[in-house]
Each structure stands twice: as C-alpha cells, then as structure tokens.
Structure 1
C-alpha cells in the first residue's frame, strides 16, 4: 500500500467514525419561527481556555450522538451549552459531554440554539426557548427511530444554558412553537451545571439577562424569566451542581432553585463545591462532578 493510499484510508476511517458519532440536523426543516430575513453570520472561533466558541447562530441545529446499540439505555439528554446567551461553548459543554454520555449508554443531543439578537429575531426573549422546545418535541417524536424511551428525555444546561434548560422545565405548559400533535414539551429531568436561574438584581447574572431581554427589561419579563419563582409540583426532577466560589454566577442561583424544589417535594440533588471557578475549568474535575450526575440518574432509574 502506498503512503497516499494509507493516508486516504485513515482519513476515510476517521470520517466514518465521526459520522457514526454525530449527525448534524437542522432544527426546523420547514423554516425557523420568530425569524427576520437576515444574513447567516454564524462563525466558530478557537479559544485557548474552552477549546471552541460559536457566535451569531441564526440557523439552529441538533448534534445527534446516538448511544451504541449494544448498551443503549433508552435515556436521552438534550445538552444546552453555556456562554451567557452571547456565545456557545460547543465542545467543552457540548460534544465532549455528549461523548461521555454515550459511554454510559445515554444518547445525547447537543442543541446549537439561536443567540438572542434583534437583527435575526422578532422577539429575542423567546428565541432560545423556542429552540429547546422544538428540540424536546423532535426527540420525543423521533424516539422510536432513535431507540429512545419517550418518557426518559432530559435537558442539561451549563450557565446560561442552565437558565434555558430551567426555563423549559418551569414553563413547559407555555407553548412557543407549532405543536399540532400536542407533544409534551416537559423534560423528564433536568441537569443544571452552575446555572443562571434568576434575573433578579440580588442574585441574577446581568450579562445573560441583558443579552436575552435587552437593556431595559420590564418587571414582567424579569419575573417571567426568574425560574426560581416558577417551580411547582410539575417541575421535573433536578440535579444541581455549583461552586460556592463561583464569582460569575452566584451559587445562590442553585440554592434558590433547590429550595423551591424542596418546597414542592420534587426529587432533587444538589452538590456545592468549596473550590472551583465558573465552568469548573480547574476544579472539580469532570469525572468528579459528572460522576455525581450519573449516580443521581442511576438512583432515579434514568440510566
């Protein structure tokens, strides 16, 4: 075999393996709702700290990572990367986590949701939530095809992605997409990693709030998107993990949400680490916090 043939064969094998690991699907095959006519300016940039960043997403999509058939559990997790509603950490809080779930027999779907922008949206405040609701609807309706149990579909969110996931979990009765079949938009469980929960001044993350709602949000908007105020008996079981030393998103966000879950007798777990910056860049290790997440899923029979 020539060197050129060997390199070509290796390249084809790598491409084949990647194709098996991920499929990229348009979220709205028939047109994006709540959209203005605008040029697609999506771009991806390398980043020394978090590996990869995506900006200006106007055409949302799903990255599908199917669990290996020989040990698939039937559970699926839709992952919402963080980035303050300004960017998406598509690798560290996306594809890397998806592959870790696959090793555990869990199908993972990375949601590349639209980033709020008046240039591309009629109503910027609901764009990301529309995309997550559409993702839940899509996964539930295609569950038989993807060998997923339609009653074991969860959402996972990091930072602002945690706010998005929590919004879907606390506002699942409010439908912002076309849903003629009445498919349930309620996640079956939530995994929230150093999440933004509140938009109230005392604990809220100002950057995420401004990017989603603009510079002068109304009192109604602040109330509506402060998810600790909307926990009820139908809120899904929730796993929370945060660092008490987080200087970007206060740990109070997780504490307030957990308190609401407790008050409504929702199955929940929370882990607070004494050390570790926002995003857990140095501590705790991925295996440490992700292992606790998997343990909680095991306890609830989700894995």
Structure 2
C-alpha cells in the first residue's frame, strides 16, 4: 500500500498556551502519515520518554505500521520538561481537535480518531482519554469547537498511576514537579485509573510482566478501573520483555502485540 507523508503541522500557528519560547520544543506539532483515500480511520501517536523526551522508535515506526493496516497516523510532538502539566495534555487534546477539524483535508473519518501512547506517552493518552470535552461552540478558533474525546485508546506499557508504589517517579517529577511526591491530592488527580468513567473510550492495553521500568500493575490498575465502569477493553500481558520495546520486532513472543492490536482495531471499526 502506497503511503504518503506530509510535513509537520503546528497545532497553534499563533503560539501554544504557556509557551516559553519559539523553538521546536515550544511549538507542539503533528506529523501526518496519511493513507490515500477518504474517510480513513486515524490514530494520533504519543511516543514515550518519561515526559523528558520523545522516543523516535515509538513514533514514526508506529505510524508506518498503522499505515500498513489502512490507518492514517499522526505523530505528536508534545511538550516535555521543563514544561509541566497541563501543557502535554493540552497538546494531546489539541491534536485530536485538529485532526477532527481537518478530517476532510486529511482524508480521515472524524468519528474514528484514536489515541495511542507508550510509557509516559501512555499516561498522556490515558489522561486525554479520561479528561476531555465536547469543544466550545462559542470559541473564536474553529478548532476549539471540536471535541477532544478520542474514539479509542491504545496503551503500550503505560504509566497510569502517579501514586506510590507503582508510579514511574521520573515521569511524575517531570510532569508535576518534585512537590507532587508529597501532595497526595495532586497525585490522585493525575492518576488515570481514578478518573475512568462509563464514557471512557474502549481501550487496548499491553505490558510485560517483568517490566522493570514501569511496573505491570499500571496496566492492571487501568484494566480494573475499566472493568468497574463497564468499558470494553483488551489486556495483554506478556511474560518477559524490557521496558520500551516499541514494535518489539526482535522479541519472538512479545512482538505478537501488533497482531493482537490490529485485530482489536479492526473489531472496533478501524480498518
């Protein structure tokens, strides 16, 4: 299948909220990887990196894999440290709104826009999937009139909780600051498993049981919350594999996550 790549698109051409400068790191953007055609499903990708960077292997290669499934993809350059909350969340919400607003130009279906994230990008994805709005119909900016709710979520070895003992301390510190380690209320407000509702989008999760970077309990907590609220989900826990595997192409067993995810995406109408 022929794939088309476009140049990155700034999410706020006039400057992002809370921007501290004018470099690339101050300008959140999406890079489209489009499958030719009309009304294609689309997925926005949030690479991981502990809210301190964004891992390349969890961006473009994932977009190219999604393209082979007939899904257009958008790699999100969201703001990381020294930026803190709410910047990354605003960037993810704006990315969903932007793809929805420009759906016709991108050749995608505005009612089939998912969000996929790895590690800390998984936390961003889970937060955007539990903290969204239907848009502001009175906004002067037409993009802000669009809903920021993703139609489904894919969480890959995600950071979910900000509470001890299962959080990833580096992600928490970068996102919320050192003060969060002693502010229980702040940690709970940013723990996605505590913010799930019956309206949370259908979710696919995968993790490895021996992940030494982000404990598997993060995915288990999220799955438990989804189950409690009646949200349909797939949960795949593989026996072994280091943190940050991405496509896991060199892992004979764990690489099966892509086939499982492809089946789940098709089951949810993303084909």
| TM-score normalized with structure 2 length | 0.90
Structure 2: where are the runs of 5+ without partners?
none
Answering whether residue 89 of structure 2 is matched by residue 129 of structure 1, we say yes
Q: Distance in 2 between matches of 1:247 and 1:145?
A: 42
User: How many residues get paired?
Assistant: 261
Q: Secondary structure at the match of 2:32?
A: strand
For 2:216 and 2:135, locate their aligned partners in 1 and report how far apart those are by CA, in whole Å.
30
Query: Secondary structure of 2:106's match?
Result: coil
Q: Which residue pairs with 1:26 in the alignment?
A: 10
When the two chains are superposed, the root-mean-square deviation of aligned CA atoms in Å is 2.2
SS in 2 for 1:248: coil
After TM superposition, the structure 1 = structure 2 runs for residues 176-195 of structure 1, keeping only pairs within 5 Å, are 182-195=145-158
Shift of 1:283: 2.8
Partner of 1:212: 175
Displacement after TM superposition at 1:182 (Å): 3.0
Q: State the alpha-carbon separation in 1 of the partners of residues 190 and 35 from structure 2.
A: 33
- What is the Cα deviation at residue 302 of structure 1? 2.0
**Correspondence list, 1:131-210, <5 A:** 131-173=91-133, 182-210=145-173
Q: Which protein has greater RCO, CA pairs closer than 8 Å, 6+ apart?
A: 2
Question: 2-side partners of 1:85 and 1:284: how far apart?
Answer: 29
Distance 2:73 2:120 in 1: 19
- Given the two structures, how large is their TM-score scaled by the length of structure 1? 0.81
The correspondence for 1:291, drawn from 245, 251, 259, is 259
- Choose 1 or 2 for highest CA Rg: 1
Which segments of 5 or more consecutive residues in structure 1 lack a partner in the other structure? 1-16, 43-56
Secondary structure of 1:197's partner?
coil
Contact 2:135 2:145 (8 Å CA) reproduced? no
SS of 2:116's partner is strand
Residues 116 and 127, structure 1, Cα contact 8 Å, conserved in 2: no
